[in-house]
C-alpha cells in the first residue's frame, strides 16, 4: 500500500521542491494551500499549476482570513521592504512575518491528516537561507510534532505516530534548487515574490526574491522566472 503524504504547498520554490521530494520518496500526494488574504494571490494559481504538474492526488485550498488580526506587510497595506541598492537583509523578524502563520497552517494540515488517515506531513521550511521567521526553526517543528501526537486520535489509540517532515531544513537555497532541478522541476512555474506587480511578475528586490536569485547565482544557473 502506498503511504499518503500531506504537503503544504504555497507554489513557491521551497514548497514545490518539497512536493517533488515527497513524490520521489514514493508517497501519494495530498497538497494543501491557504488563501489567507495574502497580497500576492498569484501564489495560489502557481500552487494549482504545480500540484497538477507533480501529480498530486488531491489539492485542497483552505480559505482562512488572517487579515482579521492584521499585523503583517504580507496581508495589510504596509509597504513590503525592498533592498534596492542594499544587499544587507534584516536580521531581526521582518514586517512580512504573519502572526502564527505556520502554527495555523500546520494545524489545518493536522486536521486534514486525521480525516484522510495520513501520518506524514511535509513542510518546506528551512533554517539556512530564510527570512528569520520564528516558526521556521527546527525546534518549532519538533514542538509541533510532539503536539500533533498529543492532539489527535493517533496519540490515544495506538496508531502510527504523526511525523512532520522537513527535508529542506538544513539545505541552502542553492542546494534546494539543485535538488529540484535533478527532480525535473520547472522553476518557471513557481513563484516566490512578496510584492509582485499587477501582471504577476516578481520584483527581484524583496527578501524572498533576493534569496532565490542568490541561490540560482551561486549554482551558476539562470532563474527561469521573469522579473519586472
Based on the shown chain and the rule CB under 8 A, indicate whether residue 219 belongs to the binding site for its own copies.
no
Based on the shown chain and the rule CB under 8 A, indicate whether residue 102 belongs to the binding site for its own copies.
yes
Based on the shown chain and the rule CB under 8 A, indicate whether residue 91 belongs to the binding site for its own copies.
no
Based on the shown chain and the rule CB under 8 A, indicate whether residue 30 belongs to the binding site for its own copies.
no
Enumerate residues 48-87 that contact its own copies by CB under 8 A.
Answer: 60, 62-66, 68-71
Closer to its own copies by Cβ: residue 71 or 81: 71
| Burial (Cβ within 10 Å: 0-12, 13-18, ≥19) of residue 115 | exposed
Closer to its own copies by Cβ: residue 101 or 173: 101
Q: How far apart are CA 101 and CA 20, in angstroms?
A: 23
Closer to its own copies by Cβ: residue 135 or 207: 135
Cell 506524514, located at residue? 120
Helix, strand, coil shares, percent, the chain, to 5: 40, 10, 50
Closer to its own copies by Cβ: residue 143 or 183: 143
Please give the C-alpha separations between residue 104 and each of 47, 87, 153, 166, in angstroms, as whole numbers: 19, 32, 19, 17
Q: How far apart are CA 43 and CA 74, in angstroms?
A: 12
Based on the shown chain and the rule CB under 8 A, indicate whether residue 161 belongs to the binding site for its own copies.
no
Closer to its own copies by Cβ: residue 59 or 191: 59
Based on the shown chain and the rule CB under 8 A, indicate whether residue 155 belongs to the binding site for its own copies.
yes
Say which DSSP state 168 is in: T
Closer to its own copies by Cβ: residue 137 or 178: 137
Choices 152-160, 171-179, 183-191, 220-228 (CB under 8 A): range interacting with its own copies: 152-160
Give Cα 5 distance to the centre of its chain: 15
- Tell me which residue of 102, 125, 112, 148 sits closest to 30, measured CA to CA: 112
Based on the shown chain and the rule CB under 8 A, indicate whether residue 184 belongs to the binding site for its own copies.
no
Strands 28-35 and 58-63: parallel
Based on the shown chain and the rule CB under 8 A, indicate whether residue 107 belongs to the binding site for its own copies.
yes
Say which DSSP state 202 is in: B
Choices 15-23, 140-148, 171-179, 206-214 (CB under 8 A): range interacting with its own copies: 140-148
- Tell me which residue of 213, 102, 202, 180 sits closest to 148, measured CA to CA: 102
Where on the chain is the footprint of its own copies (CB under 8 A)?
A: 60, 62-66, 68-71, 92-93, 97, 99-104, 107-108, 110-112, 114-115, 134-135, 137, 139-140, 143-144, 146-148, 150-153, 155-157
Amino acid at each position: 500500500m502506498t503511504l499518503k503524504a500531506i504537503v503544504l504547498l504555497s507554489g513557491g520554490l521551497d514548497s514545490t521542491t518539497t512536493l517533488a521530494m515527497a513524490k520521489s520518496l514514493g508517497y501519494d500526494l495530498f497538497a494543501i494551500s491557504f488563501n489567507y488574504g495574502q497580497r500576492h494571490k498569484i501564489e495560489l494559481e502557481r500552487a494549482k499549476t504545480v500540484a497538477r504538474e507533480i501529480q498530486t492526488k488531491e489539492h485542497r485550498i483552505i480559505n482562512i482570513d488572517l487579515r482579521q488580526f492584521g499585523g503583517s506587510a504580507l496581508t495589510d497595506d504596509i509597504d513590503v521592504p525592498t533592498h534596492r541598492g542594499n544587499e544587507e537583509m534584516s536580521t531581526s523578524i521582518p514586517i512580512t512575518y504573519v502572526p502564527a502563520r505556520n502554527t495555523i497552517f500546520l494545524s489545518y494540515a493536522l486536521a486534514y491528516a486525521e480525516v484522510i488517515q495520513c501520518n506524514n506531513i511535509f513542510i518546506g521550511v528551512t533554517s539556512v537561507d530564510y527570512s528569520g521567521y520564528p516558526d521556521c526553526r527546527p525546534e518549532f517543528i519538533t514542538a509541533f510534532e510532539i503536539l500533533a501526537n498529543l492532539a489527535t486520535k493517533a496519540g490515544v489509540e495506538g496508531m502510527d505516530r504523526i511525523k512532520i517532515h522537513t527535508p529542506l531544513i538544513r539545505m541552502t537555497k542553492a542546494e534546494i534548487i539543485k535538488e529540484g532541478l535533478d527532480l525535473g522541476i520547472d522553476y518557471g512555474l513557481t513563484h516566490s515574490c512578496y510584492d509582485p506587480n499587477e501582471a504577476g511578475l516578481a520584483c527581484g528586490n524583496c527578501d524572498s526574491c533576493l534569496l532565490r536569485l542568490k541561490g540560482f547565482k551561486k549554482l551558476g544557473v539562470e532563474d527561469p522566472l521573469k522579473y519586472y
